[in-house]
Amino acid sequence: MNKILLLVLLVLALVLIGYNSTVVNFEKPLEGDSLVALICIVASLCAIILLLIFNAARKIQKKIDGES
């Protein structure tokens, strides 16, 4: 995966978190559109974590290949 694609996906996930945090009704967060927004926020956070794990694994693989 290209570094630019990784950064674009990370920025997209952050934008989704920002937008969905404006949709959440903090007085009733588990009703209607607020629940959907919370689910989208959690999904975006999971995507960010997976992208960062993938990036770390790729760096480790490059180091291993460089030593051999």
What is the pLDDT at residue 45?
A: 98
Rounded Cα gap, residues 62 and 60, in angstroms: 5
Look at residue 68 and tell me whether its pLDDT is greater than 70: no
Rounded to an integer, the average pLDDT of 41-53 is 97
pTM: 0.86
Domain ranges of the chain: 10-63
Rounded Cα gap, residues 30 and 17, in angstroms: 17
